[in-house]
A = this chain, B = another copy of it.
């Protein structure tokens, strides 16, 4: 992470344009989460789980639709805003292949949670309405509860628990790497992070990663896993 070279946070002529970039990432992310969760639902080992995960997929699409509306309200073009982030979830997916259903469940859970946290941090640099929208939309308590309930059974087995803890550490590394690449490629994100808090750009990015890692550690503890 220390080798990270974010784009210099040069002021944008239009802060609204940076907000639209962030909303484009959020909307594309939610759309791809919808597709991926629909596929997860099909692979779920029981009907109960598949119904819960299918509903999570629908909620991701509903969030995406709200984000698309906000892009339009800010005068942005949703298709243009989302296009640069095409494949953002796939990038994360391809880094590591989940073996078991537990690994797959944990992968979606960790990946989406880290992405949510990152989007919330970016949104702190936007207008109050967008900030509130993003803070309110993200997170999916029903999905979290499913993951916690499912994994708690698996985690009764110590060997499985330590394997999943290792898997969790790999996943958060992958998620942070994808986020790092996103920050480097999109100067708008450097500016939004600058608007959210003072400091040199390198420090700011370090703070973002520290915040994301802290949140991840809390989540892993909730699951009973060592982060």
Contacts and interface: CB of A to CB of B under 8 A. Distances in A.
A61 interface: yes
Contact of A50 (B31, B42, B46, B55): B31
Interface string A51-72: 1001101100100010010000
Given A47-B78, A47-B82, A79-B47, A54 B42 contact: no
Contacts of A227: none
Interface of A: 31-32, 34-35, 38-39, 41-42, 46-48, 50-51, 54-55, 57-58, 61, 65, 68, 78-79, 82-83
A35 B42 contact: yes
Nearest to A46: B79
Contacts of A47: 78-79, 82-83
Contacts of A31: 50, 54
Contacts of A39: 35, 38-39
A61 B51 CA distance: 9
Contacts of A82: 47
